[in-house]
Amino acid sequence: MRKILVTGGAGFIGSHLCERLLGEDAEVICMDNFYTGSKKNILHLLDNPYFEVLRHDVTMPCYIEIDEIYNLACPASPDFYQVNPIKTIKTSVMGAVNMLGLAKRKKAKILQASSSEIYGDPKVHPQKEDYWGYVNPVGVRSCYHEGKRCAETLFMNYHIQNKLKVKILRIFNTYGPRMQTNDGRVISNFIIQALRGEDLTVHGDGSQTRSFLYIDDLIDAIVTSMNTADEFTGPVNIGNEVEVSMLDLAERIINMTGSSSKVKFIKSREDDPSRRKPDISLASQALDRWKPSVALDEGLKKTVDYFRNVIL
């Protein structure tokens, strides 16, 4: 059996990935320091004899026996990664160094969960992988932006210098069950506010856009990427090409939940991108014709049902 390490394995994305890999007859080690991850996300996996939980911080070296590494460890929402920006950038950079060192020692293939945030507030739309981004290196979001950018650099240099087998995925906004209720991401915020009958807080005038990918589609892309030919390293965009404004999203969720909530406009976030949409043509070509299959309304309904059970 393949021995697979998933860093950040108790997080929103990581827990779904652990579940998927166990279903594919792998032995899975879930590494997490539980800074933002939750034991509740992996409780249903604990009885599986091929699942192991390792409480460990990726900023510290780790010496274990593995065949593959999925490096997902890092706070991903602004509300979390801005609380301790030094820890955030250490997690991205030192975590990458330590996991790449482990992969080098064990001759293991390793995947980096990068982010659309490396594009900053893009001046090119939609964003393609050859766009270098427009990023404020000293802003409130830079701990995450620059941490992810540096991690990509490390991955490519380990690949070039040490012939390490690497994969780099630039993940765009993802949503679905097991998102935390307090992580500050827009979909979870809107759904919780709507279910509680509170005003939906929209930053700015609500015209800013995002493209949302359902968690199942992301996990398909992650696993497919790891199984592609070693020659394809990425970086590759993983996201949904359907673009939606924040005001439109708020109104969809109000209608879907049957809520009496209203939209309340509040101050814009600093360095908040005005538009974000991936060009996923490379993913479609390189990842066995991968493309999202879950429509936004379908995914939102599943996510609403999840939060309805969690908070009501």
Catalytic residue among 144, 158, 175, 214: 144
- Helix (H) or strand (E) holding 171, with range, is strand 166-171
| Residue 261 Cα distances to 3, 74, 256, 300, 307, angstroms | 48, 33, 12, 17, 16
Nearest Cα to 262, choosing from 310, 197, 211?
197
Nearest Cα to 44, choosing from 76, 72, 22?
22
258/309 Cα distance (integer angstroms) = 16
Please name every residue paired with 209 in a beta bridge, in sequence order, or none if there are none: 245
Read off the amino acid at residue 102. Answer: L
- How does DSSP classify residue 270? T
275-281-285 Cα angle (round to 5): 155
* Cα-Cα-Cα-Cα dihedral sign, residues 151, 81, 172, 130: negative
- Helix (H) or strand (E) holding 13, with range, is helix 12-23
Both structure tokens of 270 = 């600093």
- Helix (H) or strand (E) holding 151, with range, is helix 142-162
Q: Is 35 tagged catalytic?
A: no
Residues 36, 42: contact at Cβ < 8 Å? Answer: no
Both structure tokens of 193 = 């506010």
The Cβ of residue 73 has, within 10 Å, a number of other Cβ atoms equal to 29
Query: Catalytic positions, please?
Result: 144
